[in-house]
Structure 1
Amino acid sequence: MRNSLRGGAVTGATAGLLVAVAGAAAALPIPAVPGAPPTFIGNPAVAQPVTDVPSVPQHPYLAPNGKSGIHDDGWMSNTSTVPGPLGHDIRTVSAVIGGECGSLTFDRAGRIVTTCIGPSPALYLLDPVTLNVLGRTALPGDPGAFLKPGAFGNFTGGAYFYLDNQDRAVIASRDGHVRIFAENGGDGFTLVHDYDLSGVLRPGETFNSALPDSKGLLWFVTRTDGVVGTLDLNTGAAQVIRLGEGAEGEIENSFAVGNDGDVYIATNRELLRFDAGPGGEPAVTWRVTYANSGLRKPGQVDDGTGTTPTILSGGYVAITDNADPMNVVVYRTAPEATQRQVCAVPVFGAGASDTENSLISAGNALIVENNYGYSGPEAALLGKTTTPGFARIDIDPDGNGCHQVWADTTESAPTVVPKLSLATGLIYTYTKGVEVNDPWYLTALDFRTGATVWKQLAGTGPGFNNNYAGIAIGPDGTAYLGVLPGLIAMRDS
């Protein structure tokens, strides 16, 4: 990911926006900055489905693929089998909710289940058409946290969560508890399980993410000290190990879970495969140190990888490193592999390359986005934006190397988690214009060529900054995206 509140100190404009959110009694349209930027650029697309890639296996303990979390599935593939918008007279609905709704999931009825993180973090049930609030449950938070330096780099408090195979929201909270919420017919949610893990965490260790492995054992990570832990949901037994101390070996992102109990976690120094030990304890199967310039580049939260690991079919896992220029790096997942690294392909050029978002994976293909230059909302104000760049990297057919298929050097996507619709063949991203009123666009790229197909204006001004939230393609093909004060929905007419 990246998600939720992220980056540096809060600007006056952003602080005012968030304070307005905190006091809002009901969802309202997000205010736009006056101006007249182009509303639509390009031409509507004709769907060109991507059919020559294996399907991502359905995780037995997650909601259906595309509906379970910010990265869509256990592999963190960022792909959807649902057709997204094609660019036919796209209509936008926006709503001030109560904070940035960065991770979006969908229940069996097609309703949105999301956490919105801000001054008063909460779990929400939303109408997928109107974005009206159907239910709300408060989550533990720190009301003043968003005014502190580094607030926009804080993923804690439930920014990462997942929807399980029973339509329950599983949230690792700021207070050291893992809570499971079921939907009800009243105010939206009922707390059905509460696991207090504060006894196994040290002061300052706060959950970043939690996910089940393919056998149902819950894994969790914290940023500080690089804590990796397991929780038996039947007994409540928790066990942890620490990969670092303080910021050395910290874990900034979520993680990927494979088909055989395998778990892939990246620190700011290493990528590791874990498997549960005989007693359910976290055990390191293999670990590799990736290339690192030692720099915290503009647009990075720390001096390490910005990606949640992404699994590919054929026995591979991929991240970006922190070299200069940054590389897309692919590794073999098998425990007995004699040569762990498959390739490291540089992207975007020296002095202008980093990403803080997960890769897209489809078959042997990876899509990477450049976020160089984003230090917080102020980096996208008054016409400013980030260094452009997207690239597609494919693993060679023989599995012994990789190559660049295409590179885009025109589209600037400051922070979004992009998504690929296999049904349309379009990569959906969120780009920023350079006009002074700060236009933001839902942008469609051709998966096969990287060409920009169309761009639809979402809105203008800081209220439409997604600040590391991820695009979600809903069951009806709507493209949803969290923004600083809430959520937007964009759909073909």
Structure 2
Amino acid sequence: MATVRSVLIAVCVAVLAVVTTIPAQAATPPHNPYTGPDGTATMHGDTSSSDTTPLPGPGAGTLNSKRIALASACPTVLAGSDGYPVALCTPIFGQVPTVHLLDPSTGDSLAELALTKGSLLGGVYAYLDQENRLVVVDGSRSLLRVGHHRNADGDWELRVDRSLSLASAIPEDDAVTGLSPDWSGRVWFATGKGIVGTADDASGAVSTVRLPAGEQVANSISTAPAGTLVTTTAATYLLTAGPDGAPRIAWRQSYDRGSARKPGQLSWGSGSTPTFFGPRDGTDYVAIVDNADTQVKLQVYETGTGRRICDTPVLLSGGPGSENSPIGVDNSVYVASTYGYPYPAVPDGAGQSVPASADFAGGFTRVDVRPDGSGCDLVWDNTLRSAAVPKYSLADGKLHTVLRDPLIPGTKGTSILDPYRYAEIDPATGNVVRSATVGAGFLYDTLQMAGTATPGGVYLQGTITGILRITAN
């Protein structure tokens, strides 16, 4: 007999069938002139963290995958206007963040550069600037711009083109978690212990503000013309900069952080890098997922005022928690569950999860903001087990991700032998429309890292031991 919950989901899907198609000309966030191409310049596609891309995934034909073995976890795989992918990886042994320049035609590493080691989340978030340089803060608290160049022999090499120390603004026991440029070219950054600042590595000017005591930043930040979004373990902030670059808080919205960290999350609070999205200019709204104990909710705010548009229950059929940034396109938001995902390590100070462990039940939800902005409605909800940060392609109209299938069909447990499957999902229904197994076992664990569609129909997906290069022929 159907449960009340399943009946409600079915009713919602039926009532909202007329709004389940994304318009052909989707509203997207404006291009940030201080980054590389939209879709490939940041882990989440653009500085608004929309997790959309103007590039298609693999084209028609048989899907193929190649594992690029780097003996490293590679959470950040980007590509510049020159077509060369740049990956920021953390080796399994030593855990020293290392930049790799990849061959666009094969995915093989052409050059590498080790950075100063920092915290687990330090050196994870980075972006490509308008000159295709990787912008990152290393373990010495230095803001770096890493460029790739041909040497005298014609070989590729990576080197630090510019460096600015942030040590005067960031204590030795703290580290930068997220960074993103604004529309004036300043680099905004947020530290794990709640310092938010701006840095101009041309003039050397650095300015900071400290958020309330006890609030930590465990995810990246997002920028749009309206300001900079930072979600802490207690609240979401929109900050702007004064003429001198000094950060100031425009609004603050707290959320339900729950009673403890959940299994499958890396901090006690929202796992979201906050997302700008909207049907008019692509930045009308802000989206995060809270960390409420029994039923998490999508929180949507009006960007200009911080007014709450809705707090809509999500992941009703799957696990109640998400470490991933929501996808935002037009008036639609897509949320993938990470509840119970077996991370091999969590950051220092993350605390024990409650419960200590849980099955990876999966879960994927679409919610639409009503056209008049009066609230939000559930469109679909399922139990797909996304093992990566999904991306929405504006070119082919599909959601792209990697699914972690159970070794024993029909179960929710995980094992080191689980198979992994690249999948394309219909955003109108939540159904898988095409998929192919890319491998099985530890070597192929995508560890809830983001994939990136690159030119030529090549999808690059970080794994715990390297990168998957997925194509079609």
TM bracket (short chain): 0.7 to 0.9
Q: Is the 8 A contact 2:318 2:364 kept in 1?
A: no
**Is 1:418 matched with 2:390?**
yes
- 1:90 corresponds, among 53, 60, 63, to 63
Which of 190, 208, 233 is equivalent to 2:159? 190
State the TM-score, normalized to the length of structure 1.
Answer: 0.82
Which of the numbers 379, 383, 394 marks the counterpart of 1:405?
379
Q: Is the 8 A contact 1:209 1:222 kept in 2?
A: yes
Q: In structure 2, how many angstroms separate the alpha carbons of the residues matched to 1:138 and 1:378? A: 21
**Aligned-pair CA distance for 1:227:** 1.2
Secondary structure of the 1:463 match is helix
**Residue identity matched to 1:399:** G
The aligned residue for residue 395 of structure 1 is 369
Alignment equivalent of 1:203, drawn from 157, 163, 172: 172
Question: 2:102 — aligned with what?
Answer: 126
Deviations 1:49-83 (A, max 9, x none): 85142133111101110120110111111111211
One-letter identity of the residue aligned with 2:30: P
Residue correspondences, number: 422
Equivalent pair of 1:406/1:450 in contact (CA under 8 Å): yes
Which of 265, 271, 282 in structure 1 is aligned with 2:247? 282
Kindly provide the amino acid, as one letter, of the partner of residue 302 in structure 2: R
Aligned residue for 2:304? Answer: 334
Deviations 1:124-165 (A, max 9, x none): 1001232221111111126xx8xxxxxxxx211x21110001
Change (3 A) 1:114 1:378: closer
| Contact 2:89-2:98 within 8 A present in 1 as well | yes
The 5-angstrom pairing of residues 189-338 of structure 1 reads 189-223=158-192, 225-245=193-213, 248-260=214-226, 262-313=227-278, 314=280, 315-323=284-292, 324-335=294-305
- Secondary structure of the structure 2 residue equivalent to 1:110: coil
- Unaligned 5+ segments in structure 1 are 1-47, 146-153
Q: Using the alignment, how far apart are the partners of 1:101 and 1:319 within structure 2?
A: 24
Other-structure match for 1:5: none
- Which stretch shows the higher mean deviation, 178-187 or 263-272? 178-187
Amino acid at match of 1:240: T
Which letter maps to 2:210? R
Residue 331 (structure 2) aligns with: 364
Per-residue Cα deviation, 1:219-275 (whole angstroms, up to 9, x for no partner): 11111x211111122211212222144xx2000011111124x10100000000000
Classify 1:351/1:181 alpha carbon distance in 2 versus 1 (closer, same or farther; 3 Å): closer
Compute the displacement of 1:388 (Å).
1.6
SS of structure 1 residue aligned to 2:68? strand
Q: Distance in 1 between matches of 2:137 and 2:344?
A: 26
1:427–1:362 Cα change, 3 Å: same
1:202 deviates by 1.2
Go from structure 1 to structure 2 and tell me whether the alpha carbon gap of 1:192 and 1:378 turns closer, same or farther (over 3 Å shift).
Answer: closer
One-letter amino acid matched to 1:421: S
Partner of 2:443, secondary structure, is: helix
CA contact (8 A) 2:28 2:277 kept: no
Shift of 1:191: 1.6
Structure 1 pair 350/111, CA: closer, same or farther in 2 (3 Å)?
A: closer
Instruction: Report how far residue 334 of structure 1 moved.
Output: 1.0
2:320 corresponds to which residue? Answer: 353
Cα offset for 1:476? 1.1
**Is the contact made by 2:460 and 2:469 (CA closer than 8 Å) also made in structure 1?**
yes
Q: Is the 8 A contact 1:49 1:424 kept in 2?
A: no
Tell me the residue number matched to 2:454: 474
CA shift, 1:361, in A, is 0.9
Q: Give the Cα–Cα distance (whole angstroms) in 1 for the partners of residues 340 and 69 of structure 2.
A: 27
- Structure 2 residue matching 1:283: 3-state secondary structure: strand
Which residue in the other structure is 1:15 paired with?
none
Give unpaired runs (5+ residues) of structure 2: 1-20, 347-357, 408-414
CA distance in 1, matches of 2:421, 2:318: 26
Superposed CA offset, 1:163-210 (max 9, x none): 001111111111110111222103422322111111221131111122
The separation in 2 between residues aligned to 1:344 and 1:312, in whole angstroms, is: 16
The change in CA–CA distance for 1:49 and 1:125 in structure 2 (over 3 A counts) is: farther
Shift of 1:406: 0.9
In structure 1, distance between residues paired with 2:267 and 2:40: 29
1:439 partnered with 2:415? no
* Aligned CA distance change for structure 1 residues 470 and 322 (closer, same or farther; 3 Å): same
CA distance in 1, matches of 2:68, 2:40: 21
Deviation at 1:109, TM superposition (A): 2.6
TM superposition shift of 1:84: 0.7
Distance in 2, matches of 1:209 and 1:343, equals: 26
Aligned residue for 2:150, secondary structure, equals: coil
1:349–1:408: structure 2 CA closer, same or farther, 3 Å change rule?
A: closer
> Which range moved further: 63-72 or 266-275?
63-72
Query: RMSD in angstroms over aligned alpha carbons?
Result: 2.0
1:68 matched to which residue of 2?
41
TM-score, with normalisation over the residues of structure 2? 0.85
Q: Residues 445 and 184 of structure 1: is their aligned pair in 2 closer, same or farther, counting only changes over 3 Å?
A: same
Q: Which residue of 1 aligns with 2:114?
A: 138
Question: Percentage identity across aligned positions?
Answer: 30
- In the other structure, the counterpart of 1:112 is 85
Among 62, 75, 91, which residue is 1:102 paired with?
75
2:277–2:329 Cα contact (<8 Å) kept:
yes
